[in-house]
Chain A
Amino acid sequence: MSGRAAPARRPGPGERDPSPARASQTTARLGAIAAWSGLAFVVAYAVLRLAAAAFYPEPNPAIIVSQESVAYFQRLAVSGYVAGMVALALWSVPAERVSLDRSLPTAVWVAFAAIVLQAVVVP
């Protein structure tokens, strides 16, 4: 009698692991995915706004009678599209590669710098 508990059986391929540790990992993974996609949304918006101002200047609103779409909402939609891509791409990679503690702080600063730059250059 060694007194040791038998090691938990690792789930086989395709099997779900119902343990609390697994649930915690899933929550952390979803959090990381949400954080990354949120940052991607912010960066995408800043990049779109800056690129549009640099290459596709908007006409003077005073001379426009009507327009089919509002650029602001278009940018929000495209940023959401990019953020969705990032989220689903991260969901498809192994869980251990998606974490909050490695490069996410740097990414937060990058996103912050991008949106501040955009706000200063093209308010």
Chain B
Amino acid sequence: MKLLAALLVGLASLWASPALATDRAHAIALFEEARAAEARLELAEAARLYAASGAMDPSSPVAGRAADRLRWLELRSEGGYRPLARWMQAERDPALRRDPTALAELEAYAAELGPGRVRTELRLLCARVRLDAMGDPARAGALLADVAADADADVVQRRLALTQLAELERDRGGDLAWARAVLRFGELSPLPVRQEASRVQRRPWLRAVAWALLVLQGLVGLLAAARLRRRGELAHSFRPAHAAFSAWLGGAGALLAWAHGAPSVAPFVWLGALSLSIAVAARLWAAAPGRLGRVAAVRVALGLAAVGAAGFSALDWSDPRYLETLWL
């Protein structure tokens, strides 16, 4: 039975194959003609030939590629393919990389175009040339920002432009400039990138506040020390327990971190040193004569804030990446 079925299938294919082979050859020839037309920038003709190739033999080896090219061309068919032809010509033209006037003309042409993918592609091309060949990151950034801000552009192209713009800004102005660029077009970036940008933008403020708190605590401690010294009580204001606590906080913490295989013990060392200075300043403040020693609530509040600032600074000075684990 199986032998009979195989015989029938063989006979059918022998009968059908001459017609199929003719269609397939014709479809392949049309595909090659379409490619040649595309190379000559006769894009409307290329689209027609790609469509004809696919229709002639949908199962030919070139049918998939023909359909892909047709779809690609149709997505960029605005203006009767003229803007697309201009863009493709510019892509191939090495003189554009050396000719600022031609590049400026191309930018002006892109600015006059209506919404569509080709306008975006042209702007991305101009930005690339401005950056790589002309060394003009400011103008490249402006073009990329135009693409990212273009509500009519394809969202993938807008994201691509934003990624390039953010990296460009990072090269020019560091992480803060990168974060500013990301947050300027926040809706285009994934949530983790936006969160990271927010953290990067917030960090200088936190750093400034931490510094201010630590300096303020230190200044008050120095003021209190001066008053205690005038009364001859400075030496009795220190307690060995403060040094022991800070040594434990920094030393034992560093030992634990080392034993657990942490890449660095620096945060604990900083924390121990800072906590000692805060504890000494707070103790001097508490022992200070006059009104200074009586504002206990302010002293406690500033002391607690300074402890938080010390923790932040210990991580920040060691490696700011530690702060990311704390959402700072």
Contact = CB atoms under 8 A, between A and B. Distances in A.
Nearest to B233: A13
A85 B252 CA distance: 10
B235 A69 contact: no
Interface stretch (B108-116, B240-248, B292-300): B240-248
Given A84-B252, A85-B245, A85-B249, A92 B239 contact: yes
B245 A78 contact: no
Interface string B224-243: 00000000010110010110
Contacts of A85: 245, 248-249
Given A69-B261, A84-B248, A88-B244, A13 B256 contact: no
Nearest to A68: B261
B250 to A, nearest CB: 11
Residue of A68, A77, A91, A92 ringed by the most chain B CB atoms within 10 A: A92
B291 interface: no
B279 interface: yes
Interface string A69-92: 100001001100100110011011
A14 interface: yes
Contact of A89 (B245, B252, B259): B245
Contacts of A81: 248, 252-253, 256
B92 interface: no
B256 A78 contact: yes
Contacts of B279: 92
A92 B260 CA distance: 29
Contacts of A77: 256, 259
Contact of B260 (A13, A74, A84, A91): A74
A85 B241 CA distance: 11
Interface string B256-268: 1001110000000
B256 A91 contact: no
Interface residues of A, number: 14
B261 A91 contact: no
A10 B279 CA distance: 27
Contacts of A78: 256
A10 to B, nearest CB: 14
A74 B261 CA distance: 11
B70 to A, nearest CB: 52
Given A77-B256, A88-B241, A92-B242, A14 B248 contact: no
B302 to A, nearest CB: 18
B235 A14 contact: yes
A97 to B, nearest CB: 13
Interface in A53-69: 68-69
A88 B245 contact: yes
Nearest to B249: A85
A9 B100 CA distance: 94
B233 A91 contact: no
A93 B320 CA distance: 33
A92 B237 CA distance: 12
A90 to B, nearest CB: 9
Contacts of A91: 241, 244-245
Contacts of B241: 88, 91-92
A66 to B, nearest CB: 14
B318 to A, nearest CB: 18
A87 B259 CA distance: 22
Contacts of B253: 81
A92 B259 contact: no
21 contacts: A13-B233, A13-B236, A14-B235, A68-B261, A69-B260, A77-B256, A78-B256, A81-B256, A84-B248, A84-B252, A85-B245, A85-B248, A85-B249, A88-B241, A88-B248, A89-B245, A91-B241, A91-B245, A92-B239, A92-B244, A92-B245
3 tightest Cβ-Cβ pairs between the two chains A and B? A92-B241, A13-B236, A88-B245
